Structure 1
Amino acid sequence: MKKIVAAGLAALLLSAVIFQPSDGYAKKTTVQEIDQQLKKLQEEVKTAKVAQEKAAAKEQEAQHYKNKTTLNLQTVLDQIAGVKGEMNEISARIDDTEESLQATAADLDAAEKRIASREKLLESRVRLMYTDGTVSYLDVLLSSTSFSDFLDRADSLMSIVDQDQDLLAQDKRDKETVVAKKQELEGQYAMAKQLYTDLETRRSELKEKEAEKQELIEMYDRQIADAEDISEEQNAKLVELASTRAALEQKKDKIKAEEAARRAAEAKAAAARKAEAARKAAAAAAAAAAARSSSVAVSANETESSSGSYAFGSGPLLLPVGSAPISSNYGYRIHPITGARKLHTGIDFAVGQGTAIHAAESGTVIVAEWWSGYGNCVIIDHGGGMWTLYGHIRDGGIKVKNGDHVERGQKIAESGSTGQSTGPHLHFEVRIDGKTVDPSDYL
């Protein structure tokens, strides 16, 4: 894109050099040739304009996707914060589970000690039975010496049996309880660890998304910056275009003047040969000139009367839309569309759609067409390096064309909201040697 713009600028600069010829060349150049050069220049302008419109569309697209990506980034950051909070909760659960596991391990140790103690007791009894031989409970009872001895022996045997059964039951309960508790806690611990691992994986994925969104935003920022650079180059090209057109129009006027002078010289020579015819021709020319002067005066008066009432300031230029209120002055401001702090290169007059716009001073129209962010635009060359620019004209609202000579106060356009505009108004600029100045110093 920049190559296209640079090529256009180079072409304009080259044309500006070409259109500064010597006097000898000027005599050879005709008005038709200059018109052809202007037509060729206009074709170059159209090509550059297409490139600029593509750049503007690309800037808007990049801004759209940047805004969308920024919203997505905030969503990702919120998700990261949420996952981090869940990880903190699960980490606390893991700590609690580890403490419970430690307590269960202590219970398990105590249970295992009790089991070991019971096993020793049982082993000692088995060892005693093995050493003394197998003695049945019936033999013990039958060897009683009396009935009371029999009852005592029966009670003792029942105590031994109950104790053994109780030991075995306690042993079984301790083992089952400890093993079940340990398995439960180990399951909870494993689950918490897995949840933590899953969340860590998710957080890593979100961090990757965050980095990806940041890279996209940086890319869109670069695209927007590139598009703004192109816009600045297009503004420079506008200056070059207007300068070249002004030079060509001046050259055309010079050629016309030379042709008029040549015709006047021929007329004078003929008058010398035919004095009477010359006097009659002079009288006729004087009458025609008087008629033209009267016609121009009448036209100017009609223009002034049809333009409506509008106020004059203290500067040399006429207010283009009268005493309309100013909605934005010249100087740095926050751009209402891009949101960036940029120089506002003119004055905005708050007027409704279709309000008549008048030439601030007499001059030659050098731009009367759509131009980038200005939308439909008119630029008038007033001579001495001074231009005035009228932007955001409504579609179909340009009432002059390139090369037209306009008078001070003449209606040249109607206000609108084309280009980079948030509503109907007139953007008015004053440029000295192509550079913008504060219009309030001149109105």
Structure 2
Amino acid sequence: MGATPNREKRDGRGRRFRAVLGGILAGLFVLGLLPAGNPTARAASEADLKRKIQNLDTELREKEGEKSQAQKDLDQLREDRERLKQEISALDSQIAETNARVENLKAKIEENTKKKEEREAALKAATERLETHKEELQKRLYRLYVQGDMTYGEVLFGARDFADFVGRVEILTAAVEADKRLLVEYKRAKDEVERQKRALESLIASLETDRRALQEELSRLALRKEEHTAKLSTYEDTERQIAQKLEEIDAELARIAAERSRATAELERIIQERRAQEAQRAREAQPGIPEGIFAWPVPGYYAISSPYGWRIHPIFGTRQFHNGIDIPAPKRTPIVAADTGVVTYARWMSGFGNTVIVAHGNGVSTLYGHIDDGGILVSEGQVVSRRQQIALVGSTGYSTGPHLHFSVLVNGSYVSPCNYVRCP
């Protein structure tokens, strides 16, 4: 479209201003009052920062691997420690059970020892009774058989008659037989007591053998528990060491991440500065694309991939009206405000993705769409100046690649941006 008289006046003033500014800057460079940019030094700094970031990334990966291995070691150690604690608990149960069995055996040994002592006392009494009765029986037998004539004579002459005599003989014989039976009973009782005594002695010996075996088992269990307890203490010490190592690794990771963040921010600053200078040089090298009423929103990138007007939508494939112009540029290329104004919108908008709208007064606003995630650099209500960086090129919303969708609105209606910026 043809240039208006106002635009021609503005273009003339712009050319005169750039000529005067160029002369001033040239004079300052000649006098040495303004340092010249050193592209070689900047490139070296940029390369150094990239190498530093790569080295930091390598260090981060190594530390992450070290942390992962330490965490695996810690998890395995905790698993082993829990298993060891369970084994110690099982040993405690076995020790308690074995102690109970030992105490039970001790009680049985004491009980049977007491019974044996009672049997020994009974055996002694029975032996004494048996010996006493044997002695008395022997005396009677001696009187009956060794001194039999006198005894029988006494029985014979003492009897009143023959029947009395026979009765006396039977009584004497019965007494002797009773003594013999009593002697046999005493002997049988003594033998039984001796048998019981031997059985008790055998039982006590068996119980003592079991008790000694249990005591040995107790000693083995106690030794195993002592070994497990010592190992558990070692595990706990090692666990504390690994936990401390993990804390140190986390601190080192935080330090590396912070250093990387600073290096990345510095690299981003240098890259943006380089791009801005390249854009400035590109503008100076392309006098055929002067500014319009508004400044070009993507310095250094002047191609238009989709103009204002009707088109086939690249995503939906339908014929739609395109209410702005699309300016392709690499992702995170700086976007500048077309003119001084106030930010009225700085967030997500359906279709446009991350979007910024700047009101310039007199009902005129500019819209900047498809901004990169994290690329909105202004906030609503903020005053921005002409050519101030406000965002970074992205591909959010309905977009097929990195570019800026730039629209101009007058009283809320879209108009051709080429009425306000000089389109190539």
TM-score scaled to structure 2, two decimals? 0.52
Structure-2 change in CA distance of 1:247 and 1:29 (3 Å): farther
Instruction: Report how far residue 126 of structure 1 moved.
Output: 6.9
Q: What's the RMSD between the two structures over aligned residues?
A: 4.7
Corresponding position: 1:48 with 2:63: yes
1:175 is aligned to 190
Corresponding position: 1:293 with 2:336: yes
Instruction: Report how far residue 257 of structure 1 moved.
Output: 6.1
1:323 is aligned to none
Give the Cα–Cα distance (whole angstroms) in 1 for the partners of residues 121 and 223 of structure 2. Answer: 44
Corresponding position: 1:162 with 2:208: no
Instruction: Report how far residue 240 of structure 1 moved.
Output: 1.6
Give the Cα–Cα distance (whole angstroms) in 1 for the partners of residues 162 and 375 of structure 2. Answer: 143
Are the aligned partners of 1:73 and 1:213 in contact in 2 as well (CA < 8 Å)? yes
Give the Cα–Cα distance (whole angstroms) in 1 for the partners of residues 280 and 353 of structure 2. Answer: 41
Are the aligned partners of 2:63 and 2:253 in contact in 1 as well (CA < 8 Å)? no
Q: Which moved more, 1:25-34 or 1:205-214?
A: 25-34
Q: What SS class does the counterpart of residue 287 from structure 1 fall into?
A: coil
Structure-2 change in CA distance of 1:282 and 1:210 (3 Å): farther
Amino acid corresponding to residue 76 of structure 1 in structure 2: L
Residues 115-194 of structure 1 correspond to what in structure 2 (within 5 A)? Answer: 115-124=130-139, 147-148=162-163, 151=166, 154-155=169-170, 158-159=173-174, 161-194=176-209
Instruction: Report how far residue 186 of structure 1 moved.
Output: 1.8
Structure-2 change in CA distance of 1:243 and 1:362 (3 Å): farther
Structure-2 change in CA distance of 1:38 and 1:56 (3 Å): same
Residues 209-248 of structure 1 correspond to what in structure 2 (within 5 A)? Answer: 209-248=224-263
Out of 330, 348, 351, the residue aligned to residue 302 of structure 1 is 348
1:63 is aligned to 78
Structure-2 change in CA distance of 1:306 and 1:209 (3 Å): farther
Give the Cα–Cα distance (whole angstroms) in 1 for the partners of residues 392 and 236 of structure 2. Answer: 44
Structure-2 change in CA distance of 1:251 and 1:360 (3 Å): closer
Amino acid corresponding to residue 264 of structure 2 in structure 1: E
Give the Cα–Cα distance (whole angstroms) in 2 for the partners of residues 74 and 153 of structure 1. Answer: 84
Amino acid corresponding to residue 191 of structure 1 in structure 2: S
Residues 36-435 of structure 1 correspond to what in structure 2 (within 5 A)? Answer: 36-124=51-139, 147-148=162-163, 151=166, 154-155=169-170, 158-159=173-174, 161-253=176-268, 255-256=270-271, 259=274, 283=291, 286-289=295-298, 292-293=335-336, 301-302=347-348
Give the % identical residues: 19
Q: Which moved more, 1:145-154 or 1:94-103?
A: 145-154
Give the Cα–Cα distance (whole angstroms) in 2 for the partners of residues 96 and 87 of structure 1. Answer: 14
Give the Cα–Cα distance (whole angstroms) in 2 for the partners of residues 26 and 247 of structure 1. Answer: 19
1:6 is aligned to none
Instruction: Report how far residue 41 of structure 1 moved.
Output: 2.5
Instruction: Report how far residue 62 of structure 1 moved.
Output: 1.9
Instruction: Report how far residue 94 of structure 1 moved.
Output: 2.5
Listed as ranges, the gaps of 5+ residues in structure 2 are 1-37, 300-326, 328-334, 355-372, 379-390, 398-424
Amino acid corresponding to residue 296 of structure 2 in structure 1: A
Deviations 1:163-200 (A, max 9, x none): 45224312321321210221232233223333333333
Deviations 1:84-125 (A, max 9, x none): 333333333233222222222211110111122133235546
Aligned residues: 283
Are the aligned partners of 2:134 and 2:183 in contact in 1 as well (CA < 8 Å)? no
Give the Cα–Cα distance (whole angstroms) in 2 for the partners of residues 361 and 73 of structure 1. Answer: 62
Give the Cα–Cα distance (whole angstroms) in 2 for the partners of residues 262 and 359 of structure 1. Answer: 23
2:330 is aligned to none
Are the aligned partners of 1:140 and 1:153 in contact in 2 as well (CA < 8 Å)? no
Give the Cα–Cα distance (whole angstroms) in 2 for the partners of residues 223 and 362 of structure 1. Answer: 49
2:383 is aligned to none
Amino acid corresponding to residue 128 of structure 2 in structure 1: K
1:440 is aligned to none
Give the Cα–Cα distance (whole angstroms) in 2 for the partners of residues 231 and 361 of structure 1. Answer: 37
Listed as ranges, the gaps of 5+ residues in structure 1 are 1-22, 272-276, 308-357, 364-404, 412-443
Structure-2 change in CA distance of 1:42 and 1:360 (3 Å): same
Give the Cα–Cα distance (whole angstroms) in 2 for the partners of residues 239 and 306 of structure 1. Answer: 33
Are the aligned partners of 1:26 and 1:255 in contact in 2 as well (CA < 8 Å)? no
Q: What SS class does the counterpart of residue 302 from structure 1 fall into?
A: strand
Instruction: Report how far residue 236 of structure 1 moved.
Output: 0.8
Give the Cα–Cα distance (whole angstroms) in 2 for the partners of residues 201 and 283 of structure 1. Answer: 102
Larger Rg: 2
Structure-2 change in CA distance of 1:278 and 1:155 (3 Å): closer
Are the aligned partners of 1:98 and 1:189 in contact in 2 as well (CA < 8 Å)? yes
